[in-house]
Chain A
């Protein structure tokens, strides 16, 4: 190799200057992925489109969880590992609200005259709001007890505390007196309706009817997930961009001591951030459990982790970044489960993260870091 440098310095130099080897490696990986996707699409367009729809469904749930991570990290620079378990608690809260208290059917019981779709929608929204409130309260308590005393301690102490809280929520939840250690079948808050989309139009499937071949199936689960997620995202964006609390949040994220000097109640804002993030995770818990109707005490770990990956991928601290990152992770997970291999779907998400971070070190929408100028 030394000899080669002496003989043709110009060629080697250009290769090194322009980082061609590394770029070539990344390009090779990208070409492989695109080729795989195109080949899968050509092999079965409707199946592929079905996977894309499923990916959106998953991606929007991840987006809701990712927002909690990205907001908390943006303000206190803490990877809140307990967030995934707050999501789990949200799923369980909605489970109890539905199975024990029948909260999803209160409109039809109180106002029997309402149209079915309206009473069902109000019921679902009630369940989600209950779950969001439960999670917000939980996160507020966690923040006050566990994180606030460590505000000035080294960051690693807060991280270990977060891990401790995560363990506590999981294993306390696993106790028979809490949620129990078993898988629990989740009762959906609404009736599932599937629509078949084909060249001849959209037809609703009857219960128990097998879908015809080569058609795209859309269920109202996907619609609920996408609509509710988008509403919450716009609502959050409104809070962060247009309200006083949002302004205070952005200021706190930018510079804590200065915000305090400007009269912002930094501790209060941090608590509010935790509570808002947890409320979104609670909503995500309901939606996730609706899509995959099973709740259990460690269900929060992997979605929580994926959502964090999504937040980092999109650029931590950025709301549109969290959405885009979550959609990428959701699609990648579903498509790799369908076309590469099911167990590798967790690996693919992390591989994408590492490759993207190598090209853009602060994520897709991330600002260049301001640490240590």
Chain B
């Protein structure tokens, strides 16, 4: 027997399908020109990055400015894979990174299960072990990849060119996400033990270090095709509206299901009160790293998508100044609100990239970034809790346990925070 599907789910997926179809039709019939098409895709990519950051900061309360660094990592990883495939017809890069992320991911999961049993292990010692394991497996995967690479190349060459490109692209985007997640795990393990603002500064430093490395990717890292500060060109432009929209819907559904599970409630409890969470038996460090890794996975994924929108990557797009953008979006949309983040991301892309460019008269283009902070200041002064506050569309609203009817507390203040409080009463 089929389980009854809630009406909100049907509504959500129906609405998603409708939005996708309308915009897809508009794009196919050239009603939307390339300019708006690109802006919509950028908005969707921005939404994925911001959702990841919302998980880290909005739901878990860890003030991270490193989201943009993971986004950059994802972009360059995915771009490098597809670049090597389209320009050199060589899947060795794909093979190396595929085996690399799988081996390292497996090792991290295995080591976590082993090290989790050791009591009193400090974060830095654990980091040292993970770091050594990653180093060894990374080198091993280079050899494995070079050995397996030609076979994978031959396999992909046997397929039609368009199909193989799409396969490489999908794999590249997913690998980019996992790669960013693994880096965030290694980085977050020691750094998450710092306090909130110190964590913010350390992650800001991470973004800056990533940018410096990308500026010198051809000389210091030895990836000639990334061309360092000159910018990477020749990436296939294959991120269509379909792919970004699909990724966005998948990310929203993952976020929703995660947050409505016991994991999600534990993540939120870390934000609400760490000490109370600990007293309830929640492994605070574990949930901090879980939220950080998943959020960074989204950032890497979005980076992979972004790399294939314009076909051009420049380290300046990953400047730490830009790392405030997702932070601004989630604060404007409402911390801890998925709906707000989605609305704010698209509004941000449409407004800043689109409308302000068109509305401002000739010769006043430079005023765009003068108007933007003023709008920001006004927003902060008038609506400090964000555009939508804690509003969620029905699909994303947490189905509250029956306890809700007993309490006369009225509307929960922060959307998803309420069930935790009620469950603990």
Where the two chains meet, the residues of A that have a C-beta atom closer than 8 Å to any C-beta of B are 1-2, 5, 15-17, 19-26, 77, 79, 146, 149-150, 153-154, 156-157, 160-161, 163-168, 170-172, 174-175, 181, 301, 305, 308-309, 312, 341, 343-344, 346-347, 349-351, 353-354, 357-358, 361-362, 369, 371-372
Q: Which of B122, B202, B376, B381 makes the CB contact (< 8 A) with A19? A: B122
Surface stretch bound by A, among B35-43, B177-185, B186-194, B251-259? B186-194
**Assembled-state Cα–Cα distance A166/B121 (Å):** 42
B291 to chain A, nearest CB (A): 17
B273 to chain A, nearest CB (A): 8
Please, which residue of chain A has its CB at the minimum distance from the CB of B275? A372
In the complex, 24 of the A-B residue pairs with CB atoms within 8 angstroms, ordered by the A residue number, are A1-B114, A15-B125, A20-B125, A22-B122, A23-B124, A25-B127, A153-B380, A160-B331, A161-B376, A163-B324, A163-B327, A163-B373, A163-B376, A164-B376, A166-B373, A168-B374, A341-B220, A343-B220, A346-B212, A350-B202, A354-B190, A358-B194, A361-B194, A371-B195
A129 to chain B, nearest CB (A): 30
Residues of chain A within 8 A (CB-CB) of B372 are 167, 171
Residues of chain A within 8 A (CB-CB) of B374 are 164, 168
Are A160 and B125 interface neighbours, CB within 8 A?
no
Q: Mark B214-228, 1 if CB is under 8 A from A, else 0.
A: 011000100000000
Q: Which of the listed residues B123, B201, B204 has the most CB atoms from chain A within 10 Å of its own CB? A: B201
Those of B317-368 within 8 Å (CB) of chain A:
320-321, 324, 327-328, 331, 335, 366-367
**Assembled-state Cα–Cα distance A160/B87 (Å):** 42
**Assembled-state Cα–Cα distance A343/B195 (Å):** 29
Please, which residue of chain B has its CB at the minimum distance from the CB of A371? B195
Q: Which of the listed residues B208, B213, B220, B320 has the most CB atoms from chain A within 10 Å of its own CB? A: B208
Where the two chains meet, the residues of B that have a C-beta atom closer than 8 Å to any C-beta of A are 63, 114, 117-118, 120-125, 127-129, 131, 190-191, 193-195, 197-198, 200-202, 204-206, 208-209, 212-213, 215-216, 220, 274-275, 320-321, 324, 327-328, 331, 335, 366-367, 369-370, 372-374, 376-377, 380-381, 384-385
B297 to chain A, nearest CB (A): 22
Residues of chain A within 8 A (CB-CB) of B202 are 350, 353-354, 357
Are A167 and B125 interface neighbours, CB within 8 A?
no
**Assembled-state Cα–Cα distance A23/B127 (Å):** 11
**Assembled-state Cα–Cα distance A353/B125 (Å):** 19
Are B384 and A358 interface neighbours, CB within 8 A?
no
**Assembled-state Cα–Cα distance A371/B366 (Å):** 43
Q: Which of B215, B327, B370, B381 makes the CB contact (< 8 A) with A168? A: B370
Are A146 and B377 interface neighbours, CB within 8 A?
yes
Residues of chain A within 8 A (CB-CB) of B204 are 305, 350
**Assembled-state Cα–Cα distance A151/B118 (Å):** 45
**Assembled-state Cα–Cα distance A181/B124 (Å):** 45
Q: A154-B384, A361-B193 are in contact. List 12 more A-B contacts (CB 8 A).
A: A25-B127, A79-B197, A146-B377, A156-B335, A164-B373, A166-B373, A167-B373, A171-B373, A346-B212, A351-B209, A358-B190, A358-B194
Q: Which of A77, A347, A369 makes the CB contact (< 8 A) with B209? A: A347
Please, which residue of chain A has its CB at the minimum distance from the CB of B327? A160
Are A25 and B128 interface neighbours, CB within 8 A?
yes
Please, which residue of chain B has its CB at the minimum distance from the CB of A168? B373
Are B275 and A25 interface neighbours, CB within 8 A?
no
Are B384 and A157 interface neighbours, CB within 8 A?
yes
Residues of chain A within 8 A (CB-CB) of B215 are 343
**Assembled-state Cα–Cα distance A50/B297 (Å):** 45
CB-CB under 8 A for A358 and B369, given A26-B124, A167-B376? no
A345 to chain B, nearest CB (A): 9
Residues of chain A within 8 A (CB-CB) of B114 are 1-2
**Assembled-state Cα–Cα distance A147/B33 (Å):** 42
Residues of chain A within 8 A (CB-CB) of B331 are 156-157, 160
B34 to chain A, nearest CB (A): 27
